[in-house]
Amino acid sequence: MTRYIENASRRRFLKGSAGLTLALYFPWQMAAAAESSGSTEDGDSQAFEPNAFLRIDEDNKVTVIAKHLEMGQGTYTGLATIVAEELDADWSQVQVESAPADASRYNNLHWGPNQGTGGSSAIANSWQQLREAGATARAMLVAAAAQQWEVSAAEIVVESGVVKHEASGNEASLGELARAAAELPVPDEVTLKEPANFTLIGRHIQRQDSPDKTTGQAMFTQDIHLPDMLTAVVAHPPRFGARLSSFDDAEARQVKGVVEVVEIPSGVAVLAKDTWSARQGREALSIEWDESGAFTLGTEEIFERYRELAESAGTVAEQRGDADAVLAETEHTLEAAYDLPYLAHAAMEPLNCVIQLSEEGCEVWNGDQMQTYDQSVLAELFDLSPEQVRINTLYAGGSFGRRAAKGADYIVEAAHIVKAIDGRVPVKLVWLREDDMRAGNYRPLFHHRLWAGLDEQGQLVAWRHRLVGQSVAEGSPFEAMIQDGIDPTSVEGASNLPYAIANFQVELHTPSDIGVPVQWWRSVGSSHTAFSTECFIDELASEAEKDPVAWRLEMLADHPRHAGVLELAAERAGWGQPLADADDEGALRGRGVAVHESFNSWVAQVAEVTVQSNGNVRVDRVVCAVDCGIAVNPDVVKAQVEGSIGFALTAALYGEIRLTEGRVEQSNFHDYQPLRIGAMPAIEVHIVTSVEAPSGIGEPPVPPLAPAVTNAIFAATGKRIRRLPIADQLAS
Amino acid sequence: MVTLNVNGQTVQADVEPDTPLLWVLRDTLQLTGTKFGCGMSLCGACTVHLDGQAVRTCTLPVSAAVDGEIVTIESVGDSSVGEAVQQAWQRLDVVQCGYCQSGQIMSAVALLEENRTPSDEDIDNAMGGNVCRCATYVRIRAAIHAAAESLA
């Protein structure tokens, strides 16, 4: 048999097995069995399933059910490690399967009754839950062995997936005990391991998804092919708030492969037998848009408005002492403003979604990030109950927050297309890169203005921070977090600034008349607040003639975890020691630092940069210290730090979505530049040893990067960068 | 109807000759390991080998590939270099979201087929057309060096 045929048949098998998995996990079938005993029928064999997160088959496979989306952050590996640790499984027998959408079992414990992934919460919220899941299974397997061997359970040990009783010489694999364990009652209480006895947590173990993702076998939404499925490409309006006026699809329908053209609320969808034909069909459409209600401001006009707003006091988000009064009477004050642009998430997999309607309801294939919300939105649209919306959560080719879509925008669009063809066939909606780039739901543009006062000893005595920017929580499933006019995600990282400053005030303006849809973007509010606060602290250190690290440490006495990472990063970076000269003539080198806490993880970074004589900036090296509690998988933590630094550096150097008269200028990777391999700095990661419960790592290393880099640029050149991206601001 | 040689197999596809090879592989032949990222040869997610050269299939008309031997991620592991690269990628856990990695691996294999001892600069040049938004570049570089060592 040739290789090609093998591959084709393997693909068919994969599709078949995906269907089987689904059949096994319909929530209404599974819930009852999982609650009462540890057994479930799995085709011909009986599997041991003591809880919603774990299945052990008689063939000795341990399957961990992941309630969180794997979008690159390594969560499948992390979640499985926690279960395998308490189960004492061997890592080689562990595999991971995506959980169905069922908030009754798979809710994010940090999100109340909602299933979903975000806020760097996957490991943090699952930690206790999955330890208990693993320990419960272990206790039942041991009990089963004790019964079979007629020995005391206390004398039984489990090591690397083998259950042993030394005195009697009995031993069995987990799989061999699965059937017997399944008959036993689920214990009410279990004993968890002492961290000192961990054998997987904190060790280097391989990622679960590496083999499939290096051989082209990993299934993304883009890869789904269903019988009779049509692929849809949509013509979207040229501005936010514009609507369809009329269209002529005569030519589009002539394109070979095009089957249908339909009007939907967000534009005109061309459905074809394949993606290329759908795209060609869209090219052939002729459309009139009604732009009378469209948003028509450009980026510079938005900034102008925001600067005007920043002239007056905003809603107070945090206050202690009397910053206004002290600033008015302090002689030595400093003031600065910082501007940050709209940013697209631009994950490698452009947004897409597959939906099929059937008599039972609606089935979705998607790299789904907010299952419960998406279920409710689709249920309403199709007039179904949420349980009738089945979501197959696939690997996501990146997200950075985008697939946790406000308004479930791309999912709703796919649903409208299915609706428009009366659900006759399954539909795969494909956004081309340009659609993805221009669809909005951006990280909001922000203007920050800061004032500070220094006393005669150079101590920071007053701080006032005024932010202007759109709310991401507004109109989202998290809207209830907005209290007294403050979206906490707008000011996070600013209102909880850790430095000891007696007179402190943070104010917020939230303009509601800007028609650009905005959304969380990796590290949310901290993606802009870390920049303004850590740059301004650096400016003040320079003004007070203090060392940026020592001065921060003086003000962090009450924040040991901030201080801990700052000291560690500074020490490992050789802070205070001279940098080697640049190789190029006229180039200047400098070192900068920043520290920031987000999502309960503390990160400090020291960046070393070279600024060429033509103004080009190269980040040579970043030394990063991170305190995220217990590092479940240190190598995954390290990978997230490396990736976050590269992601944040893209934004710092080039990232900007610009609007002109309401139109998004950028469309693809030529004008929304991603970092490429040649610009990637050398990265050193130092993880603080901790016994605290694990916290997040997917986002926290993002915020400190931009201020560390621009502070390094100041150290090199004496020039302050107060607007991102850095772009060509240093070009002479 | 076009006839192609894909992964050592002769296959036929009922497509227009100007259809980009990417969509023939993905939608017609259902070889979905090769990815769509940009449609403009800007990101490299769609990289395959055509007669041993790394090419971007999202802008390559299928008609330009009819006389050549096409190798995709699904069979690149059949060659010693392909196998070494995939193993290095797995050993170093390069992947994050994984969506770009088929293209990264195809470009890395093409580089190592030409140059068994690539310098960092050689890697920058050969891999500069492959974008990874997860920014796994530190490990991509390390894995190429590791694969080169294992082939030495």
CATH number, domain containing residue A261: 3.30.365.10
pLDDT surpassing 70 at residue A438: yes
pLDDT by residue (tens digit) across A297-318?
Answer: 999 999 999 999 999 999 999 9
Same domain? For A522 and A388 the reply is no
- Determine, for residues B135 and A650 on separate chains, whether the beta-carbon distance falls below 8 Å: yes
Q: Do B37 and A350 touch (CB under 8 A)?
A: yes
| A23 and A84 co-located in one domain | yes
Percent of residues, chain A, with pLDDT higher than 70: 94
The predicted-structure confidence for B12-35, as pLDDT tens digits, reads as follows 999 999 999 999 999 999 999 999
Segment A507-518 mean pLDDT: 98
CB B22 within 8 A of CB B47: no
pLDDT score recorded for residue A26: 25
Q: Any residues with CB less than 8 A from the CB of A11 and at least 6 apart, and which?
A: B30, B32
Classify A89 as helix, strand or coil.
coil
CB contact under 8 A, B27 and A275: yes
Residues B20 and B51 in one domain: yes
Residue B115 is given by DSSP the state -
Query: Which of B15, B23, B131 lies closest to A674 in CB terms?
Result: B131
pLDDT of A37 > 80? The answer is no
B10 and B65 both lie in a single domain: yes
Mean pLDDT calculated for residue range A567-583: 96
Q: Given B16, B75, B137, which is nearest A3 (Cβ)?
A: B75
Hey, are the CB atoms on A214 and B94 less than 8 Å from each other?
yes
| B84 shares its domain with B66 | no
Contact assignment for A72 to B137 by CB distance below 8 Å: no
One domain for residues A384 and A524: no
pLDDT at A10: 30
Nearest neighbour of A348 by CB, restricted to B15, B45, B139: B45
Nearest CB to B128 within list A210, A275, A676:
A676
CB contact under 8 A, B9 and A5: yes
B57: contact with A, CB 8 A cutoff: no
Same domain for A271 and A165, yes or no, is no
Phi and psi at A28, nearest 5°, equal -70, -20
pTM over 0.80: yes
8 A C-beta contact, residue A579 and residue A589: yes
Same domain, B82 and B120: yes
Q: Answer whether B23 sits within 8 Å of A225, measured CB to CB.
A: no
Same domain, A313 and A407: no
Distance (Å) from the C-alpha of residue B12 to the closest C-alpha of chain A? 13
- Examine the fold and report which residue of B19, B49, B71 is the final residue of a domain before the chain moves on: B71
Helical H runs in A150-274? 174-182, 210-214, 250-254
CATH number of the CATH domain containing B119: 1.10.150.120
A228 band by pLDDT with thresholds 50, 70 and 90: very high
Q: Which residues of A touch B86 (CB under 8 A)?
A: 214-215
A732 in any annotated domain: no
Strand partners, A508: A315, A467
Please report residues of A whose CB lies closer than 8 A to that of B27. Answer: 225, 231, 273-276
Q: Could you say which of B71, B98, B127 is where a domain stops?
A: B71
Q: Is there a contact between A274 and B28 if contact means CB atoms under 8 Å apart? A: yes
Cross-chain Cβ contact A646/B75 below 8 Å: no
Give me the residue from A222, A674, A677 closest to B124, CB to CB.
A677
Name the residue facing A635 among B15, B35, B93 (closest C-beta).
B93
Last residue in a domain, options A159, A185, A214: A214
Band the pLDDT of A13: cuts 50, 70, 90: very low
The reply to whether B50 and B114 lie within a common domain is no
> What would the mean pLDDT of A643-661 be, rounded to a whole number?
98
* Domain-located, residue A727: no
Which helix (H) or strand (E) segment holds residue B144: the answer is helix B137-151
- Say yes or no to pLDDT of A3 above 80: no
Q: What is the pLDDT of residues A248-293, one digit of tens each?
A: 999 999 999 999 999 999 999 999 999 999 999 999 999 999 999 9
Confidence of residue A584 (pLDDT cuts 50, 70, 90): confident
Mean predicted confidence (pLDDT) in A139-158? 98
pLDDT for B63-120, tens place per residue? 999 999 999 999 999 999 999 999 999 999 999 999 999 999 999 999 999 999 999 9
Assess whether A73 and A128 both reside in one domain: yes
Residues B106 and B147 in one domain: yes
Establish if A153 belongs to a structural domain. Answer: yes
Q: Please tell me which of the candidates B20, B33, B128 has its beta carbon nearest to residue A216.
A: B33
How far apart CA A481 and CA A674 sit, in angstroms, is: 33
Contact A4/B6, CB-based, under 8 Å?
A: yes
Count of pairs with CB atoms under 8 A, one residue in A, one in B: 206
Average pLDDT along chain A? 93
Provide, as residue numbers in chain B, all residues whose Cβ is less than 8 Å from the Cβ of A71: 97
pLDDT (mean) for A150-168: 98
Tell whether B63 and B46 lie within a shared domain: yes
> Residue A545: its pLDDT value, please?
96
The pLDDT of residue A22 is above 60: no
Is the domain of A158 the same as that of A270? no
How many domains does the structure of chain B reveal?
2
CB atoms within 10 A of CB A16: 10
Indicate whether B52 and B97 sit together in one domain: no
In a domain, A41, yes or no: yes
Interface of B with A in 71-100 (CB under 8 A): 72-75, 77-78, 86, 89-90, 93-100
Considering A430, A461, A485, which residue would you say is the last residue of a domain?
A430
Record: contact A211-B100, CB cut-off 8 A: no
* Whole-number pLDDT of residue A619: 98
Tell me the chain B residues in contact with residue A643 when contact means C-beta distances shorter than 8 Å.
Answer: 96, 134-136
For the beta carbon of residue A545, count every other beta carbon within 10 angstroms. 8
- In the predicted structure, residue A699 carries a pLDDT above the cut 60: yes
ipTM for the assembly: 0.99
pLDDT one-digit tens code per residue, A614-649 = 999 999 999 999 999 999 999 999 999 999 999 999
Condensed to tens digits (0 to 9), the pLDDT of residues A58-87 reads 999 999 999 999 999 999 999 999 999 999
Yes or no, beta carbons of A398 and B99 under 8 Å apart: yes
- The number of domains in chain A is 3
Residue A418 and residue A334 share a domain = no
Domain that residue B59 falls in: 2-71
**A510 with A591, same domain?**
yes
**Same domain membership, residue A639 and residue A592:** yes
Residue ranges making up the domain that contains A158: 3-214
> Averaged over B123-129, what is the pLDDT?
98
- Over the stretch A364-407, which tens digit does the pLDDT of each residue have? 999 999 999 999 999 999 999 999 999 999 999 999 999 999 99
Between CA A371 and CA A359 the distance in angstroms is 21
In a domain, A546, yes or no: yes
Structure tokens at A85: 């640790």
Question: Which residues of A fall within a CB distance of 8 Å from B29?
Answer: 8
Q: Tell me, yes or no, whether B57 and B124 share the same domain.
A: no
Out of B6, B42, B78, whose CB is closest to A670?
B42
CATH number at residue B7: 3.10.20.30
- Nearest chain A Cα distance for residue B37, angstroms: 6
Domain contains A722: no
Q: Do B116 and B63 belong to one domain?
A: no
Residue A729 lies in a domain: no
Residues of B in contact with A2 (CB under 8 A): 7-9
Query: Mind telling me how many Å the CA of A354 is from chain B's nearest CA?
Result: 15
Q: How far is CA B133 from CA A199, A396, A559, B96, B140, in A?
A: 33, 13, 33, 10, 13
Domain C-terminal end among A214, A230, A265: A214
Q: How many separate helices (H) and strands (E) can be counted in chain B?
A: 5, 5
Per CB-CB distance under 8 Å, the chain A contacts of B133 are 346-348, 398, 400, 647, 650, 674
Question: d(Cα A59, Cα A52) in Å, to the nearest integer?
Answer: 19
Same structural domain, A184 and A321: no
Same domain membership, residue B86 and residue B59: no
Residue A436 counted as domain residue: no
Measure A713 CA to nearest chain B CA, in Å: 22
Q: Let me know whether A55 and A162 are in one domain.
A: yes
β-sheet bridge partners, residue A173 = A162
Last residue of a domain, one of B71, B95, B129: B71
**Closest alpha carbon to A34 in A62, A18, A53, A60:** A53
Whether residues B30 and B81 share a domain: the answer is no
